[in-house]
Amino acid sequence: MSNESSLRQRKSGLPPIGPSSLSKEAISDGRAEDIDVDKKETISYGKTLNGKVFRVPQTHDMVSTLFDVRQRKSTFDLITLSIMLGETILFFTLPLTAKRIFFTVLFLLWRTGYNVGLGYLLNVQSKDRRMVQWAKKYAIFDEKKRPEVYRWLKRELSAKMGSDYDFVTAPIEYNTWLLYRQLVDIILMNDFTAYMCFVLSWINLSPQNSNFLLDVLRWVGGILMILFNVWVKLDAHRVVKDFAWYWGDFFFLIEQSLTFDGVFEMAPHPMYSVGYAGYYGLSLISASYTVLFVSLLAHAMQMAFLMFVEEPHIQKTYNPPSTPMRRASSQMFDLPPIESASPTVPSFPASARDNSVKSFRRDLIVFKNFDWFRSTDLALALLVSYAVFVPTVCLSHGRDDMTIKKFAIGQALFWRCFHTYGLGAILWMQSRSKFWTRHFIKWGATSREAWANWRTIYNMSLCMTYVSFFTACWTMYTLPSDWTYGTTLLRHTLGVMFILLHIWTSASIYEVLGDFGWFYGDFFIDGQPSGLLYTGIYRFLNNPEKIMGHAAFWGMTMIANSWQVFALAVFSQISNFLFINYVESPHMRKLYGSQMRKDAGLTKTLKTSLQSARTAIPKTIPAEVRAEINKIIAEKAELQQALARTKQVERAVKETVEKVEKVVEETAENLGELFEAAKPRLQEMVIETRLLIDTSRSRILPRVSENIDMNDLHAYALEFPTTSPTRRNATIPHSFTLGTRIEICWKAPMAHADWDWIGVYKVTANKNKLITDISSRGYWRWVSKPSEGEKSEDTYDKSKTNSGMTSGKLVFEGDVLPWEVGTYEFRYHHDGKHNVMAISTPFEITAPHVPDQLSVASASMVLLPICQAALNYDPNVIPNDVAEEFLLMPEKSAKRIVYAIKVLFGVEFAWEVIETCQSVYGLATRILDAKQALVPFTSQTKRI
């Protein structure tokens, strides 16, 4: 990797990290760059959500405790070892065919338990602390309510803990985490055992069409990948330790200093990316496509676990949205009043109006944001169609095969030359003399117009480069008649993987660079905040597009299996290197100079490994021998690479094998006693599993209680406060304006369930009055039990009476209130299920009144409360008057405003337009301009 490679990215501020500890993947986007080094074991303090600070007892990893015969084994350990031993026995006793089917299914079941089961538990724990709530609900840590369970858990959880752990005084969050760890140990250890049995069941020691050299390469490559996998796991555990390894930050936060070095500087999410290299190493050794495809499926499930479980929690915990600074109010400006408007509405001078209605661009990013109504987009579509259909149609009509192939290859070569050398020359001249910008200024345009035209041409060239190359591959491709012959299936599999890698790399690059960097904004726009910030994929690679940015070309080359396509891919790769070295890098050096780093994270990690190899020699060796070995290492580069990894790996493998042998010898003699001891615990685990399945099912199907006396329904009621807005002589008496807070009073018996909840539904949504059979879509609240960390006094009001009844009041607003005009009702549900105990009278959500004679001022006054409600009345971000610029406009809020504008004014906007208007006044101006342009197809309102 060239030291000159850099990043087309301007420096921008990052939100504060928050807690000083991160989960095991939290550093993948560079958030932990500046965390202090602290490699010594120190006392750590944890903090629960309710603010309780406690000393975190020391824990140990599962391998060292599970296979150490000197450690006392808990019931959970015995269960884990029993299942592992049972799987091992079945591996040696089942016939080959049955063994292959059994362990394939078994591994997929354990993998599902890992990614789906553990993922569900972590997800609900992250959202509303569900596991901690279950522990409180079932009182498993309450000695008075459930003494037997309490004593058993105290004995089991204390078995592997040190003297610094006290079950009685530890917070319930910490004890719940320890209990969750036991389930994790059972699933993860058996997931690994089942996978190893699965691989050994399918191993092919004499594959077809093999030769000695290929077999040697397979085994050597597979073993190296396995050793690399072991190093990744060990190094990752060294960094994140037990707390993050077991997802501790889903339960409580911890104060400790960590150094995210080593493997965490090598690859994003190393535990889930390069940490699965062993899967592919074993696939190579086994020479089985079954092992390869099952491993790919398992790896994909793990990435889905990362995407849908870990990443949302990481963002919520360590990257909360920063509170924007409020800008100056419009009252600071001296604005003349509008004669026809209310005195409270300010007027804007022409310059302010121009800023508020600035143009809104949705540039094509490859084919993203494609719009058939734009001339440039339509022209691109026609050009792509021509490039694709001419070769393919000619082939289908039996034209000269070689001529069509030459045409396709020539077309791909032309677009590669145009994209790399043609556009590269433009950028080279633009960097030195503003060649492109000068042309547009000469004819009365601006630098931003010059950049806008460049973006259109660059995206067109990029699309045609990809399309023409893929078309050339298609003309050279022949559908295999035998997929099992030679490397046919392997080529296609690797080709698809390379294409997916390319897509991920491009998306990661765009995520960091944005439009400005993606379209080389540094070459065209001056005056931007200068500086480099290496985040995301650029934390690990200085220029990922050098190699990984061309992965799709190599993937298609493998699939096409053509030497002409291979030559074209080589030419494309070389051209890209030349572009980076002679166009992009010089411009980056001119702009950023010394800010450009020399070593990326991957390079730094490799250098560190080489350096550590020099100090890996035992001190017991005489000084003369050590000096000689150091000399050999310095001379032999291959020894430098190997020694960095093999020492630690060999030691870990040897110790693990010895521990497994000892445990197997001890447990084999007492197998019958072990199962008898574990039987009661297994029964309890089955019961808990059934409860978990029932809970999971309730998220899809309505949960119905079987122990409800229908006479109790008279004790429940839902009513609107007397202060609610009412309409006389109306079928639906209560009416609320869109976005307005709605209060509802409830009444229930004193002993009502802790998990009662109230939801909002359209009156036509549920035909059954006794059971709710559709999802609430998040429009619900607990009756009297706020979530942890929520201020109950804001939304909950509860009182008791002497008649054995209790009552309260709930406030629905913001995200728990529907943002759609219609007729609704509240429904009171029993104990977290979907039994309906009471239904309120229907109420309407209506649009606010719009004056017949519209002006910018009057439209602004209508929009102001709508915008405030769409932003959940957050005092930190809502505009206080129509002139104040928007501080923050999330997508959800913008879509609410877009819906309101369509209902009120009959004008439809894309949600991205809202923020570009900058203020309520600017939005009102844009609306009236749109209405004027759409006459007579919107309401015929006269503009003042």
Strand order in the sheet with 742-749: 717-719, 742-749, 805-812, 796-800
Is there a domain that residue 383 lies in? yes
Arithmetic mean of pLDDT, 242-266:
74
pLDDT given at position 537: 67
Arithmetic mean of pLDDT, 805-827:
88
Rounded Cα distance, 556 and 453, in Å: 31
Residues 88-113: pLDDT tens digits?
999 999 999 999 999 999 999 999 99
Proportion of the chain above pLDDT 90, given as a percent: 14
Asked if residue 505 and residue 456 are part of one domain, the reply reads yes
pLDDT given at position 377: 81
Is there a domain that residue 70 lies in? yes
Asked if residue 917 and residue 886 are part of one domain, the reply reads yes
Asked if residue 927 and residue 827 are part of one domain, the reply reads no
Residue 690's pLDDT band (boundaries 50, 70, 90)? very low
Q: Do 758 and 837 touch, CB atoms closer than 8 A?
A: no
Residue 336's pLDDT band (boundaries 50, 70, 90)? very low
Residue 314: its H or E element = helix 311-318
- The residues, ordered by sequence, that sit 6+ positions from 597 with a Cβ below 8 Å of its Cβ are 6, 532, 534, 542
Predicted confidence (pLDDT) at residue 518 exceeds the cutoff of 90: no
Arithmetic mean of pLDDT, 201-213:
76
Arithmetic mean of pLDDT, 172-195:
92
Q: What's CA 637's distance to the chain center, in Å?
A: 39
Query: Of 802, 826, 846, which one is at a domain's C-terminal end?
Result: 846
Rounded Cα distance, 515 and 534, in Å: 17
Nearest residue to 313 via CA among 89, 127, 538, 542: 127
Is there a domain that residue 892 lies in? yes
**Three-state DSSP class for residue 254:** strand
Is there a domain that residue 887 lies in? yes
Length of the chain: 944
Rounded Cα distance, 91 and 175, in Å: 36
Asked if residue 398 and residue 418 are part of one domain, the reply reads yes
Query: Of 652, 673, 695, which one is at a domain's C-terminal end?
Result: 695
Residue 856: its H or E element = helix 856-870
pLDDT given at position 37: 36
Q: Do 410 and 456 touch, CB atoms closer than 8 A?
A: no
Taking residue 872's Cβ as centre, other Cβ atoms within 10 Å add up to 17
Asked if residue 456 and residue 389 are part of one domain, the reply reads yes
Residue 96: its H or E element = helix 96-112
> Is the pLDDT higher at 355 or at 265?
265
Q: Which of 18-22, 392-396, 774-778, 812-816 has the lowest mean pLDDT?
A: 18-22
Asked if residue 543 and residue 413 are part of one domain, the reply reads yes
pLDDT given at position 617: 46
Rounded to 5 degrees, what angle do the CA atoms 231, 232, 238 make?
90
Arithmetic mean of pLDDT, 883-893:
83
Asked if residue 278 and residue 161 are part of one domain, the reply reads yes
Predicted confidence (pLDDT) at residue 206 exceeds the cutoff of 90: no
Residue 544's pLDDT band (boundaries 50, 70, 90)? confident
Taking residue 240's Cβ as centre, other Cβ atoms within 10 Å add up to 23
pLDDT given at position 835: 87
* Distance set, CA 170 to CA 183, 244, 317, 322, 553 (Å): 20, 19, 23, 33, 56
Asked if residue 575 and residue 474 are part of one domain, the reply reads yes
> Is the pLDDT higher at 933 or at 684?
933
Is there a domain that residue 346 lies in? no
Q: Count structural domains, the chain.
A: 5
Proportion of the chain above pLDDT 70, given as a percent: 69
> Is the pLDDT higher at 208 or at 25?
208
> Is the pLDDT higher at 909 or at 704?
909
Rounded Cα distance, 742 and 745, in Å: 10
Q: Which of 18-27, 218-227, 789-798 has the lowest mean pLDDT?
A: 18-27
pLDDT given at position 599: 54
Residues 561-617: pLDDT tens digits?
888 899 999 999 899 889 888 888 887 777 776 655 565 545 555 555 555 544 544
Is there a domain that residue 36 lies in? no
> Is the pLDDT higher at 650 or at 309?
309
Is there a domain that residue 669 lies in? yes
pLDDT given at position 24: 37
For residue 882, the domain's CATH number is 1.10.1200.10
Asked if residue 193 and residue 135 are part of one domain, the reply reads yes
Rounded Cα distance, 908 and 654, in Å: 68
Q: What are residue 812's DSSP bridge partners?
A: 742
Residue 601: its H or E element = helix 601-614
Residues 121-162: pLDDT tens digits?
999 998 888 899 899 888 888 888 888 988 899 888 888 788
Rounded Cα distance, 254 and 317, in Å: 12
Rounded to 5 degrees, what angle do the CA atoms 376, 378, 380 make?
70
Asked if residue 716 and residue 778 are part of one domain, the reply reads yes
> Is the pLDDT higher at 911 or at 423?
423
Rounded Cα distance, 38 and 24, in Å: 16
Taking residue 502's Cβ as centre, other Cβ atoms within 10 Å add up to 21
Average pLDDT, the chain: 75
Rounded Cα distance, 796 and 256, in Å: 37
Query: Of 695, 717, 735, which one is at a domain's C-terminal end?
Result: 695
Is there a domain that residue 382 lies in? yes
Residues 717-728: pLDDT tens digits?
898 887 767 665
> Is the pLDDT higher at 548 or at 101?
101
User: Maximum Cα–Cα distance for the chain, whole Å?
Assistant: 104
Taking residue 845's Cβ as centre, other Cβ atoms within 10 Å add up to 21
Predicted confidence (pLDDT) at residue 116 exceeds the cutoff of 90: yes
Q: 175 is in which domain, residue-wise?
A: 44-316
Asked if residue 864 and residue 718 are part of one domain, the reply reads no
Nearest residue to 262 via CA among 675, 601, 708, 632: 601
**Residue 92, burial from CB neighbour count under 10 angstroms (0-12, 13-18, 19+):** exposed
Predicted confidence (pLDDT) at residue 452 exceeds the cutoff of 60: yes
Q: Do 507 and 2 touch, CB atoms closer than 8 A?
A: no
Asked if residue 110 and residue 156 are part of one domain, the reply reads yes
Q: Which of 441-445, 657-661, 758-762 has the lowest mean pLDDT?
A: 657-661
Residue 45: its H or E element = strand 45-47
Predicted confidence (pLDDT) at residue 345 exceeds the cutoff of 50: no
Predicted confidence (pLDDT) at residue 193 exceeds the cutoff of 90: yes
